[in-house]
Amino acid sequence: MAHMDTEYYDYGEHENISYNFSYDDYQTICEKHDVRTFAKIFISVAYGLSLVVGIAGNALVVAVYTCSKRLKTLTDTFLINLAVADLLLLLTLPFWMSAAVQGWELGNVLCKLVTALYTINFTCGMLLLACISLDRYLALTPGLGERGLRKAFKKKHSVKLCLVVWTIALLLGIPDLVLSTVKEFSDRKMCIAVYTTDMAFQAKVTMEVLEILLGFLAPLIVMLYCYAHVARTLLKLPPENREKKWKPIQVLLAVVLAFILTQLPYNAVKFYRVLDVTHVLVTHCGVSKALDQATQVTESLALTHCCLNPVLYAFIGTSFRQHIMKFAKSCSKKKRSGQRREYQGVEMAFNTNSNSQEICSFSL
């Protein structure tokens, strides 16, 4: 995964090298102490902010939909799955924050699980964004129902569709689960992916390309096509509905721009790293360090989408606003009933004490 500052290839017992080192004027392994120092500060701050904001927003989405009696639309089902994927992704951040500060001290099992969980939920979130845009497109294209597309996207098939998305994400997480391990270097331990053969090397490149295709390019293409169609449909509305149609169009633009701004830099750097693995583009230690820092910055930027998802996809939706109003009313009723029971309890206790005092006085 890109959140690791290097990846390790074992070419034999006597030659253990990292693809991310380089030779300047003399043969020596590139020392990246300054990169790790930068990561200690930057990752701790960036991941910490994403963790607090993202958990608050996505937990609210899960709470509201869980308390609702039923999910009214297919998009509602996608949204709650998206919130769960974002929450699971965010819960891996404390482990990477700890690893950035003191190295990986949590053992092999957690190394494999946390790395795989990161990949699975990151990919799942991106695929669910594509599903949401496709559902909105099909909702405005009733003719597609005759070809079975809209029928496939009906609410009764929501569990199957979400299961397909999670299955694809799980398959992409298997290599991280198998290959990630803890390696001890001169000054610290690292949770990294280790590749031992040329076949594994090719598999690594294939998996990275698949992650870029399924986690960025495919969702981006689907979003651009679907939301462009939705925007055209809204623009065809009668002039008297002009004010009503511009707000949804602005929301669609915000959704697409947020996706591009947060995900494009990360995937561009990731693709360059793949090219570096296959064609050895990085030949100087300084360039390698800059690439590592660019990876850390762009991946942190990509993670901010977990914080934006509740705002872009849930809070602005009419359906979710109805759910949250019901949730607020339900909480308010529970609070009032609790206060009423508490008041009744105090009143009963007071009456009991008063009666006791009366009995005591009468007895005396």
**Residue linked to tokens 């690439």:** 291
54-90 in b/e burial notation, b at 16+ Cβ within 10 A? Answer: bbebbebbbebbeebeebeebbbbbbbbbbbbbbbbb
Residues comprising the chain, all counted: 364
> CA-CA distance, 230 to 133, in Å (whole number)?
9
Residue 17, beta-bridge partner list: 9
In a domain, 308, yes or no: yes
- Residue 360 placed within a domain: no
Q: What is the pLDDT of residue 348?
A: 47
pLDDT 10s digit of each residue in the chain, 364 long? Answer: 545 444 444 444 433 333 343 333 334 567 778 888 888 899 999 999 999 999 999 998 888 888 775 666 788 888 899 999 999 999 999 999 999 888 898 889 999 999 999 999 999 999 999 998 888 888 777 665 445 555 555 656 678 889 999 999 999 899 889 888 998 876 788 898 887 666 667 777 888 888 899 889 999 999 999 988 888 887 877 776 666 667 777 788 888 999 999 999 999 999 998 888 778 787 788 888 888 899 999 999 999 999 998 888 776 665 666 666 776 676 666 555 555 554 454 444 434 444 433 333 323 2
Any domain includes 96: yes
**φ and ψ at residue 109, rounded to 5 degrees:** -65, -50
User: Can you read off the two tokens belonging to residue 169?
Assistant: 């994400």
The answer to the question of residue 362 being in a domain is: no
Instruction: Tell me, yes or no, whether 23 lies in a domain.
Output: yes
Token readout for 182 is: 């803890």
**Closest to 134 (Cα-Cα) out of 159, 120, 152, 156:** 152
> How many whole angstroms separate alpha carbon 18 and alpha carbon 238?
62
Residues 183, 359: Cα–Cα separation, whole Å: 78
pLDDT, position 71: 65
Nearest-angstrom CA–CA distance, 18 and 114 = 22
Report if residue 17 sits inside a domain.
Answer: yes
pLDDT at position 333, please?
A: 65
Number of domains in the chain: 1
Neighbouring C-beta atoms of residue 257, cutoff 10 Å: 10
**Looking at residue 79, which CATH number applies to its domain?**
1.20.1070.10
Query: 150: part of which helix (H) or strand (E)?
Result: helix 149-152
Residue 351: helix, strand or coil by DSSP?
Answer: helix
State the residue range of the domain holding 29. Answer: 8-316
**Residue 231 confidence (pLDDT):** 84
User: Whose CA is closest to 269, among 295, 245, 243, 249?
Assistant: 295
Whether residue 264 lies inside any domain: the answer is yes
Predicted TM-score of the model (pTM): 0.79
Which stretches within 74-157 are classed as H helix? 74-90, 93-102, 107-139, 149-152
Domain assignment of residue 113, yes or no: yes
d(CA 333, CA 326): 10
